Chains A and B, each alone.
Chain A
């Protein structure tokens, strides 16, 4: 018999306090509930209840780079961050481009049990951008893959991208594009602008992202297939997606927490902890991304959690790996930049971090559900008044490459429930 939880006085999506009874994996009762015998009571006064968060973009590094992260450690980090589901990116070693690899990752996720792991399948064999991987086999596998991405690499060949978009229609899949025109970004190190010129770091121009997004929007419209744009980072990209949606084209998009809060100015330190792909952009881009997320142009916040071992960051900028941790800080960054700034309410946070990502990933039968009677008991309780100082050595992730070291962030995940089972209680792994 699993534990039954009675959550008292939680502010569901930031609304009036109510009680939630989590029993047998579902929300068995809700409203103003009296004492229920045999339950563990959680006083959730002052806490916000949200549906368990869903990350569309997580690098769990297993198989291949277990020195940076494993499915177990990565999903521990996810649970602590309030996630009940993550989509594990395909750029592992070997690449997740066969049914065998995606089933392995999926199984490792089930065994770890901290959150659901939905493997993302590679679009092309070995992420090489030459020929389609066996997308159908991955879709039909036990992992039921629906999101396909060469993330880290762009499917830059227009014809291959067209075929991928067409092919995934057979199983209602979506192609998640890492939009980066390769020729315009050879050797690129940081956002191209005044600062890159002064620092002598090769520029990663906005047009390299926007040119691919524009092309892919037109391909999605032409093929009538679903395009998802990973980690949108420029104001121009937001404009393009806004235009696509105004035309009714089947396009969705995500933004990372770090692109909502950090700017390229951090590169002045030449500290590669701030080196990431796409790069940190200007303050104007950050503002446009916040507005795009607030008005729904950008559908989802996705972490692009990218663990790297210390030696890959403790070096000169050009030699360093690109990427930063995100799972354990995502909700706090969203609270600071979107909620505390007045741009969004908690219901919007639930929409962008759970409901819409679940729909994009085709897992909305299980995740991103309303907190209502009969629904799966995937719930996160957040204390919005808490403050915490990020300590990279205290993170559950195997790696420590957080850009927020020493920074005070608002909000804390108090508890996370996956199908009624606590994965996190009192802010610690249960």
Chain B
């Protein structure tokens, strides 16, 4: 039994499909007048957010509450964390308080993995974004949205555009979509692509215009303003011109292609207002689907004595392999 959702890289196809199917069932229930389910009554879910993220935290909060779980929001600001308390001590505290699941957002890559594997806590851990590593529930809700619109993943082509280097959303999407059988193209300036990206299970292009006509879905990543100061590209205007999605570019997409964005958007930077508000945009839908997908994840991890995603044994073995020093590196 797998106890945690830490990344999409270690998510099997069966587990991914199970989460999406469960989310689909839950979404149908959400259409009823009374949205709340009794499934997680008496269980405690802690939202542990070391980074500000109103959207993701609220989405998890709504998801847990609709499953009747008790929800504690523990944000770094105004808590002992801002007074220098370590991740370990925070984990020990939450453990002592009896948290069943910890949803963690942290600026350090691997923080969720550490929380799950360092022996500080026996809670189920859900990674709500760790540094520039992964954001698995975002990728799952993206996949959920795509499946609804595109009918499946085989032979579907998804183009992810922008700051791949710093994007946990891009990493999670590449792994998950590859697992589900879609073909992913990353389109970005070379400065915003990580070293070694050629070994990822996707295509890479520096030319957005070449990728657009073949895209069934196009996902625009947010470009943070501080990247400009890092010298990753010359000006905002040049970035928008080369990698932004405006009405002109959108017109070259195939007829049924959808436009996605994980939010928050910078209108006028990576996406124009006209595109964001257009018929092709499923951005608001992504937000709504986020609740269903997060409900499915919490449900599968927490309901019953054994969670339904994957196998715990497999994860324990992986962990063991990872920490075993290499005796003969060559």
Contacts and interface: CB of A to CB of B under 8 A. Distances in A.
A339 interface: no
Contact of A200 (B133, B195, B326, B330): B133
B109 A317 contact: yes
B87 A198 contact: no
Contact of B325 (A192, A262, A316): A262
Interface in A267-295: 268-271, 283, 286-287, 290
Interface in A241-273: 261-263, 265-266, 268-271
A200 B132 contact: yes
Contact of A261 (B106, B132, B200, B325): B325
Interface residues of B, number: 36
B195 A315 contact: no
A263 B329 contact: yes
B319 A205 contact: no
A9 B323 CA distance: 41
B73 interface: no
A265 B107 CA distance: 22
B323 A263 contact: no
B314 interface: no
Interface in B235-278: none
Contact of B134 (A200, A202, A269): A200
Interface string B309-330: 0000000000100110111111
Given A194-B196, A205-B195, A286-B329, A271 B109 contact: no
B196 to A, nearest CB: 3
A341 B327 CA distance: 12
Given A314-B118, A316-B87, A201 B325 contact: no
A31 B86 CA distance: 60
Interface of B is mostly: loop
Contacts of A265: 322, 326
A316 B114 contact: yes
Contacts of B9: 198
A299 to B, nearest CB: 21
A200 B131 contact: yes
Most chain-A Cβ atoms within 10 A of its Cβ — which of B134, B194, B329? B329
A191 to B, nearest CB: 10
B330 A199 contact: no
Contacts of B133: 199-201
Contact of B322 (A197, A268, A286): A268
A196 B86 contact: no
B327 A193 contact: no
A336 to B, nearest CB: 7
A317 B195 contact: no
Interface string B156-173: 000000000000100100
B142 interface: no
B196 A197 contact: yes
B87 A196 contact: no
B88 interface: yes
Contact of A263 (B168, B197, B326): B326
B130 interface: yes
A400 B323 CA distance: 16
A315 B196 contact: no
A186 B234 CA distance: 20
22 contacts: A194-B195, A195-B196, A196-B194, A196-B196, A199-B133, A200-B132, A200-B168, A201-B109, A201-B131, A203-B195, A262-B326, A269-B319, A270-B117, A311-B86, A315-B86, A316-B106, A316-B108, A317-B108, A318-B109, A319-B87, A404-B325, A407-B327
Given A263-B329, A271-B323, 7 more contacts: A201-B110, A265-B326, A270-B114, A271-B114, A283-B329, A311-B86, A337-B328
